[in-house]
Structure 1
């Protein structure tokens, strides 16, 4: 569990997210608050010193303590931040003098979004599942997770991160409190706890989302060299944002000429975005966007270039103007991309896209619904400002890799067709 806690914190490193952590049984220990996290930012150091409390399970009392004592300015919580509470427990509350009706209304008045993670066989009964639903925010099918044991806890990291991103938009300011209990429910859980303490960061993680992203960038002569440099910085930063996920990148530049700078296989060997983009030089020329898109579909999303059959395929097209002189139309390229299942994002940079005609071209490039797949920025200086939004949409649009939950790109459209709490299923994970 300590490994899981550290990995969750690492996943939000590139965002303005603060963490605090409290452990509970029938006693309570605050291991670090938001202020201490801000000073350290070292997830491994913060969790490695934690010792298990032992005792019974006062979940409702612990939740009220977090609301009253942790989400405060004195503890470093920020007024403007989205507030998230993640409760991890291996069993029903026991001996607690408070009921959830004593704790939940206070959390709701404070605007705290609550996630419940139940670990182990104790949550196989309807009564225990009902308790998880009491802990979690509505709708409970989007805020409750169940895993069979502590070994499979790592497998829900991507889903948890995704849900927090999806329902709250860009987490530019977030306070997140992690509360957990390992109250003795039998020696199996205690053994699992001490076993997890010894797991190193080098251990392979459970399966994550598998994504291949092709970056198709305009290098035509209408882009000033200084702006082309800013675009290169943007490309490197986008790749860095996906470091903690199973995402591969490839990059092709186009004008009326085409240059593949690296494919998925080369990215896998390097994984150094700054090195990969620093050597790129602008092509100059005119703008063959449709031809470039068809080349990416036919020549880049292939196993020979390192693309993976099981991966979600994403194409991001960045251009500063309408295509010009291109022998192909979008109707020659888009159907092939759609048949290949490629999700397409269009980013238009500059004044050229202020006209209705130019905006229509971005909509032709992008997947439906276009309002969720098209970005417009005024200049290359403001290109950096859409990084979080783009990352969010890509995270959200992918089908979740475990169980039966599928997420669309719009918050609030996460569906669980079985209307049951999410349960990690290692067999299903391998099939995705």
Structure 2
């Protein structure tokens, strides 16, 4: 109820998703970028054009560089190793299969080849790289039955090394980048003493992502992952959480296969044999960057003969955004967790410090207290105030706190609020509200004021 309906999909996805959403709130106007050109008086004339923002597309993504490029891609052999042990229900096993299907569908036009293995007491190939390339993968995945026995994880990794990654008959490519994605909900039933599978995986430079579900020991999960283990280990509460990490996980996988080599892309040019020569250059991908938000557009106008033509770079225009962090300081939160929330806020502000976003923060418990307002942020006091903020450690009066933010921050010019700014509220909480919204009507009032609300539980 706290979050705007259109933002529901973002709840719980963390820093990356929040940064992406913040960047999207700022808007760009599409304008031209300058081209640097040099001509030589030959007949016909020869010349070179270099743009500060030529863009190119690679698998549907736009890339901005100061040089002209076209992308080349590594071949990636990726194996999903899915837990089929008895601790998992049939519905949960199907959730894992759905997650795999979503990843493959999204990345179907990439240079990634997929395979999948289910493991329990033994390991069984669901589909190999040949099956994927020949169109049998989805059928095999759909028909795969739940084994429902033990959790022999190390034996399964050993099987993947021998029978998939190192097996050309399974469609493996010898010099491919190798990625293993392990999805598990239990501690291994076996040990790695006989297989030495983790050391062998490290020696073969196999990138290993580990997704742990439910009550899995995080330390044991990290042991299975490759370096950097913090970035390659995911822990979610249940199998429904696979949907929550999908976007972030897809980006991690996609970035593995993407490399650029420096090559020229075609520029449409027209020259006139005058002295000095005159010419016009039109690029199929003029682009510019605005903070985190990149706008790429096509330049399709007809070539024209013109003299000394250099389109001037124009800055993007951005909305002013007033963003308030509303952080839970109730007693259900430990001191360490409260400090981590402060660190999260600091990271967001640091990343977006050159944007058009102004920040404020309020801690709430039984009452609400301003940590720093928009003036404090603009005058450089925000970080000191945030660092010095003490944990209240009482109740969780969330609706009262939202009411406080509306009155004392968003609607208060003395706090540095801008009347026509886009208003964003980020609520970070670990418990149900102790109060109700009956007396303050904070959610309805927030909706009426078009306040964008993100909730991180």
Instruction: Tell me the TM-score normalised to structure 2 length.
Output: 0.45
Structure with more strand by fraction:
2
Structure with more helix by fraction:
1
More relative contact order, 1 or 2 (CA 8 Å, 6+ apart):
2
Instruction: Tell me the TM-score normalised to structure 1 length.
Output: 0.48
Higher alpha-carbon Rg: 2
